[in-house]
Structure 1
Amino acid sequence: MIFRQLFDQTSGTYSYLLASRRGGEALIIDPVLEKVDRYIQLLRELDLKLVKAADTHLHADHITGLGALRDRTHCITIMGEQSGVDVVSMRVSEGDRVKIEGLALDVLYTPGHTDDSYSFLLPDRVFTGDTLLIRGTGRTDFQNGDPRAQYESIFGKLLKLPDETLVFPAHDYKGDMVSTIAEERAFNPRLQVASVDQYVDLMNSLHLPNPKMMDVAVPANMRVGLAQAEIARRGWAVAPGDAMALIGQPDIVLVDLREQQERDKHGTIPGSLHAPYSDLEDNVRPGGLLHELVASTSKRLVFYCAFGERSAMAVQAAQDAGLASSCHIEGGLGAWKQADGPVATGRRHG
């Protein structure tokens, strides 16, 4: 496994780059906007392709790099389903897995610092965001924080991981880089409590000043979605209500770009072809599945995904590949469901 821990000194933020090797797919956790050029340079140096970028929660002390990385690499952006951000490509919940080639991270819902806090778990290490820090825990006094929920996240989930599990947090202000579950259980001063009530009293007595960047970072981080309006302005978008009339049309191919676990969990638009976003580059080039489908049948591709981000990027890629009739469903399956569009449920492949 390729693993790099990267540090932003201004905000004390750790970002993590992970990859396996064969095809060079990579994932970044908790990227910082000001470090995006550095991430891009490192990806180039290591010959990696960024396919996913995830935030453990809505950050208040720095502006996230999710949007900038998506715009520059066309990667999938990921946050928890409780997050109040406008749009990300994929929302995850407890029990899901974040996958890239050769790696799969289990998703743990660990609220308390914020109500959208998640941790990501590999067999030997856990990325805890601000839920569990090295010799500390994330504050619980803003962004719907809840010390009682944090106690359960830490004692009920994280501290039940194997003792040797490495702990990689989103922040550190003392220069510590990594810990273990056993170390934190034994030496973290905030975890030396006898009860949840004692932990709540401890956290409620901290009275910390607000993060310096909070008034700037939180509003900025709430608006990370791709500007889908530009795709619509070019005539490459279909509103969900209009798209319903396309179901069953002989000259239309509905293309579902989501991953199989999303299809299993949230259903599909009836009759749609599954062509995951991760394969898009190959599928739209000459000789690829979608390119040849259009070339041989003159069918029109109508892409959709969860919230419209991947499909908007797919339309641009398809247009660049000469598939000029391609379009996408604005707002994805989320908007489709809001418009009462039909959804096929149950596990289905294809």
Structure 2
Amino acid sequence: MIFRQLFDSVSGTYSYLLASRAGGEALIIDPVLDKVDHYLRLVRELDLRLVKAVDTHLHADHITGLGALRDRTRCITVMGEQTKADVVSMRLAEGDKLSIEGLALDVLYTPGHTDDSYSFVMGDRVFTGDTLLIRGTGRTDFQNGDPRMQYESLFGKLLRLPDETLVYPAHDYKGETVSTIGEEKRFNPRLQVHSVNEYVALMNNLKLPNPKMMDVAVPANLQVGLHQDEIARRGWSIDATTAIALAGRSDVALIDLREKREREKHGIIPGSLHAPYAELQENISPGGLVHELAAATGKRIVFYCAFGERSAMAVQAAQDAGIAAARHIEGGIAAWKKAGGPLAS
């Protein structure tokens, strides 16, 4: 496995690059905008292909690198289902898997620092975001934070992992790089409480100043900018109502870009074909499924995904590959459902 812990000294943020092998797929957790060039250089040097960029929560102390990585690599941007950030193209929930080639991370919903905080468990380690820090825990006094919820996230979930589990947080301000669950149980001063009420009282009396970047970072991270807006301006989008009218026509091919897990959990548009986003380049190249549907049969290609972000990138790639009839469903299957479109299991 390839594992790199990367540090932004300005915000004290750790980012994590993961891959199962050289030449394979990679994901990055909690990227910082100012470090995107560095990440991409490392990805090239290690002969990796970045396919997913993940934020553990909506950050208040730096601007996320999700949008820039999406624009420069066409990777899938990932957060928890509670997020309000517009850049997200895949949303995860408790019990899901965050997967790339050769690696699968278990998804834990660990709110309290924010209401959209998640942690990710992979074998001998856990990426805790700001929920569990080294000798600390994330503050709970803004962004819908809640010390009671954080107590449950800590004592009901994270601290139940094996003691030898390595703890990799999203931040550290004292030079620590890694801990273990066992160490934190013994030495983390915020965990030496005997009840939820004691923990709530502790967290409610921290009286910390707001992060220096909070007024800039939170609005910027909420509105990174939808790739879909530019695609719509170019006339390559159709709304869900129009898509419903096109479904079932012999001259239209609906292409589902989502992963198998998403299709099983949320349903599919009847009659659509499955061509996962990870295989897009192969499918739009000569000989590929989408290319042949467009070239050999003259079908109009209509991509869709969960929320429209992946399908917007797919339309751009298809247009670049000469598939001029390609379009996508703006807002994805979420918009399709809202418009009353039929679903199959």
> In the aligned structure 2, how far is the partner of 1:157 from the partner of 1:139?
18
- 1:81 equivalent in structure 2: 81
Asked whether the 8 Å contact 1:87–1:307 carries over to 2, the reply is no
- 1:44 equivalent in structure 2: 44
> In the aligned structure 2, how far is the partner of 1:341 from the partner of 1:235?
22
How far residue 229 of structure 1 moved from its aligned partner, in angstroms, is 2.2
2:15 aligned partner, one-letter code: S
Instruction: Report the secondary structure of 1:119's partner residue.
Output: strand
- 2:278 equivalent in structure 1: 278
> In the aligned structure 2, how far is the partner of 1:100 from the partner of 1:50?
10
Asked whether the 8 Å contact 2:257–2:275 carries over to 1, the reply is yes
- 2:331 equivalent in structure 1: 331
- 1:101 equivalent in structure 2: 101
Instruction: Report the secondary structure of 1:6's partner residue.
Output: strand
Instruction: Report the secondary structure of 2:254's partner residue.
Output: strand
How far residue 22 of structure 1 moved from its aligned partner, in angstroms, is 5.8
- 1:265 equivalent in structure 2: 265
Matches within 5 A, 1:47-196: 47-196=47-196
How far residue 23 of structure 1 moved from its aligned partner, in angstroms, is 4.3
> In the aligned structure 2, how far is the partner of 1:287 from the partner of 1:14?
42
Instruction: Report the secondary structure of 2:120's partner residue.
Output: strand
How far residue 78 of structure 1 moved from its aligned partner, in angstroms, is 0.3
Instruction: Report the secondary structure of 1:212's partner residue.
Output: coil
Structure 2 gap segments, 5+ residues each: none
- 2:254 equivalent in structure 1: 254
> Once structures 1 and 2 are overlaid, which stretch shifts more, 250-259 or 226-235?
226-235
> In the aligned structure 2, how far is the partner of 1:125 from the partner of 1:255?
36
Asked whether the 8 Å contact 1:14–1:30 carries over to 2, the reply is yes
> In the aligned structure 2, how far is the partner of 1:227 from the partner of 1:107?
26
TM-score normalised according to structure 1 size? 0.97
How far residue 321 of structure 1 moved from its aligned partner, in angstroms, is 1.1
- Residue deviations 1:18-56, cap 9 Å, x none? 001164100000000000010011001111110000000
2:37 aligned partner, one-letter code: D
> In the aligned structure 2, how far is the partner of 1:91 from the partner of 1:156?
23
Structure 1 gap segments, 5+ residues each: 346-350
> In the aligned structure 2, how far is the partner of 1:341 from the partner of 1:203?
46
How far residue 344 of structure 1 moved from its aligned partner, in angstroms, is 1.5
Q: CA RMSD in A?
A: 0.9
1:222 aligned partner, one-letter code: L
> In the aligned structure 2, how far is the partner of 1:48 from the partner of 1:80?
25
Change beyond 3 A, Cα 1:264–1:225: farther
How far residue 90 of structure 1 moved from its aligned partner, in angstroms, is 0.4
How far residue 226 of structure 1 moved from its aligned partner, in angstroms, is 2.6
Asked whether the 8 Å contact 1:134–1:176 carries over to 2, the reply is yes
Instruction: Report the secondary structure of 1:199's partner residue.
Output: helix
- Residue deviations 1:193-234, cap 9 Å, x none? 111111111101101000000000000000124331221222
> In the aligned structure 2, how far is the partner of 1:158 from the partner of 1:66?
26
- Residue deviations 1:307-340, cap 9 Å, x none? 1110000001111111111100011011111111
2:330 aligned partner, one-letter code: E
Asked whether the 8 Å contact 1:225–1:309 carries over to 2, the reply is no
How far residue 186 of structure 1 moved from its aligned partner, in angstroms, is 0.7
